[in-house]
Amino acid sequence: MLFRLDFQSAVPIYRQIRDQVVLAVAQGELTPGERLPTTRALAEDAGVNVMTVSKAYQLLKAEGYLVTDRRAGAVVRAPRGKAAGLSADQTARLNLLAGEARLAGLTLDDFVAACKAAFGETED
Amino acid sequence: METMSGFMLLTFWLCAGVNYIMLRNMSKRQKGLLLGVTLPPEADALPEVQAIVKQYRTRLGTLCLVCAALSVPLAFVQETAIALTLWMLFFLAGLALPYLPLLRANAELKALKKAHGWQGSGCRMVDTGASAFALPKPIGLWTLLVPLVLCLLPMALPGLPRGLMLVCGIDAACVLLLWGLGRWTFRRREDMVTEDSARNQTLLRVRRLYWDRFWRLNLWAMALLNLFLILGYRSEAAILGLSLGFTVLLVAATLWMELSVRRAQAALTETAPIVADEDDAWLGGIFYYNPTDKRFLVAKRLGIGTTVNLGTWAGKLYYAFVGLVLVVCLAIGPIFGIVDSIPVRLELSGSAPVCLVASHGQSEKYRLDTDAITDVQLRDTLPDAARTWGTGMDHYLQGDFYVIGEGNARFCLDPTQKCFLRVEAGGQVYWFTGDSEDHTAAIAQALQSTVHP
């Protein structure tokens, strides 16, 4: 996968790495069982601290997108199946996004259409 | 023309030629870069861009030609200290000036890029797919072994002068260093410039393939040069010629490799959209300054070279060191002149035993017990000799020399004088002069009466 790290952005680098891995898994770019580079290799390629990558991987592991193994390193985990709903954190982020869309002048239909398009991109 | 000046002239032309080829090569589109600026392919057709490139080539060519022409009179400066100072200054100026057209063209293209809204995202790209595949392995231990043995083997030769022992040791250390660097450079994964992982990986493979060739070539070159130096050490001209010839070959091979990589990189990215744009981090298209990048060394965007990140403290320290080295280089000529102006001295000191003492200024170099002297000769010419260890200046030769037709000897003399004292003591031959010819003759007379009463 291709990481794009924006150092001018207010979003921390570890968060950018986490978000891009999640998106890549959702879009099928990263498949279950696929191995991610080691924290050291990714940190060296990206020119960032090893701790930054380690933090991103730990977050991904805690969220269930990765499993880590001593021999295999970080491996993409298979989807967990149907969830009961969005988590509190995800709901909060969706609320924020909906608020931003409303303030930007989007109608409900526009917002739903945008959500459908974004969701569609993650379908195989 | 002095040998040193001729050597410097040839070296300057070689460096200036390489400088010109490399700088001119930057005016061709490679990996989406033109004169160090990432531009979309449609930019090539713009008259403004074409005009900038044309002006750049003209300015660069003119400047390099002027520098090459101005270097010729320098080769005829007689006084070594002055010649050395002038050459050091000229090397710095002559190799730095051709970068001015690049800095100017780079700034003009960046302004044009901004005006046309061709700014990239500025994001750093990392393609994990490119480095996930099997890549060429770094140079192994067996590759190191033969060149290392070739460097160390001459040290076992009986009677090898200590200067050459040192050369062998330094060459062996260099071989080890090159091998280590070769392995280390293979750790880097660069060339993440397109969205296509297969293409990025091919770019990486090309870089590694040529890296491998580059390190192998350097290992063998170092070992062979060491052998040649050992074989031809009896003549300074032979050493100079061999070193220069070898350097020319090595530079030519390296240049060929660098241009081959660039050609391959250009061909591989000709049709692919370039997504990496780090122009803001490349000052003038040459210096990498990126405080958000933790790496000290980063790969250059073109070719196989590596550069230092000025945004790190280690990078700043490195450039400060380079600056210091340049200042020291400029001071070499004046220091050389001061040392060369100190007179050599020769005197008989003490009463029993009387000693012959050869000094340079206040620094004593040799002290011989006159009882140990077995032969004294006063000569009006100094035979041809090659330095194996020590100092060689216009007015001062000191150390171990190989005298053609006579063998090894130790010198502490002013070669511009017309009178030389040759003494033998303890099976070792010495050549001396005093601060004047009359003084040397007086010392010789006194010694002859002692040795042959």
pLDDT in tens, B200-218: 888 888 888 888 888 888 8
Q: Which of B128, B201, B279 to mutate to test the interface with A (most CBs of A within 10 A)?
A: B128
Q: What are the two backbone dihedrals, phi and then psi, of residue B379, each rounded to the nearest 5 degrees? A: -115, 150
Tell me the three-class secondary structure of B365-431, residue by residue. EEEEEHHHEEEEEEECCCCCEEEEEEEECCCCEEEEEEECCCEEEEEEECCCCCCEEEEEECCEEEE
* pLDDT at residue B93, as a whole number: 93
Longest Cα–Cα distance of chain A, Å, equals: 51
Whole-angstrom distance, CA of residue B32 vs CA of residue B265: 10
The alpha carbon of B257 is separated from its chain's Cα centroid by a whole number of angstroms, namely 19
Query: What is the helix (H) or strand (E) element at residue B41, kind and residue range?
Result: none
DSSP code of A35? B
b/e B378-396 (16+ beta carbons within 10 angstroms → b): beeebeebbbbbbbbbbbb
Residues 5-64 of A with CB under 8 A from B: 5-8, 35-37, 41-49
Helices (H) and strands (E) in chain A, counts: 5, 3
pLDDT tens for B172-201 read: 999 999 888 888 777 666 677 888 888 888
d(CA B424, CA A46): 68
Domain ranges in chain A? 11-74, 86-117
- Looking at the complex, report in whole angstroms how far the Cα of residue B402 sits from the nearest Cα belonging to chain A: 53
CATH number among 3.90.1150.10, 1.10.10.10, 1.20.120.420, 3.20.20.70, domain A11-74: 1.10.10.10
How many whole angstroms separate alpha carbon B147 and alpha carbon B150? 5
B125 with A7: Cβ contact below 8 A = no
Measured in angstroms, the CA of A107 and the nearest CA of chain B are apart by 29
B356 sits in which H/E element: strand B355-360
Averaged pLDDT for residues A27-55: 89
Residue A4 to residue B192, Cβ atoms within 8 A = no
Residue type, B239: I
Q: pLDDT (tens digit, 9 = 90+) per residue, B13-60?
A: 999 999 999 999 999 998 889 999 998 888 888 999 999 999 999 999
**H-only helix segments in B97-185:** 99-115, 128-132, 141-152, 162-185
Tokens of A118: 């974004």
Rounded CA separation B434/B431 (Å): 11
pLDDT bracket for residue A122 (50, 70, 90): low
Per the prediction, chain B carries an average pLDDT of 87
Name which of B241-250, B389-398, B400-409 the model is least confident about.
B241-250
- pLDDT value at position B133? 62
The answer on pLDDT for B452 being more than 60 is no
Q: Per-residue pLDDT for B350 more than 80?
A: no
**For residue range B161-172, what is the model confidence (pLDDT) as tens digits?**
777 788 889 989
When pLDDT is averaged across residues B400-412 and rounded to a whole number, the result is 89
pLDDT in tens, B122-145: 788 888 877 666 567 778 888 889
Q: Is residue B424 within 8 Å of residue B110, measured between CB atoms?
A: no
Give CA angle at B108 (B102, B111), nearest 5°.
Answer: 140
Residues of A in contact with B199 (CB under 8 A): none
Structure tokens at B227: 């052998």
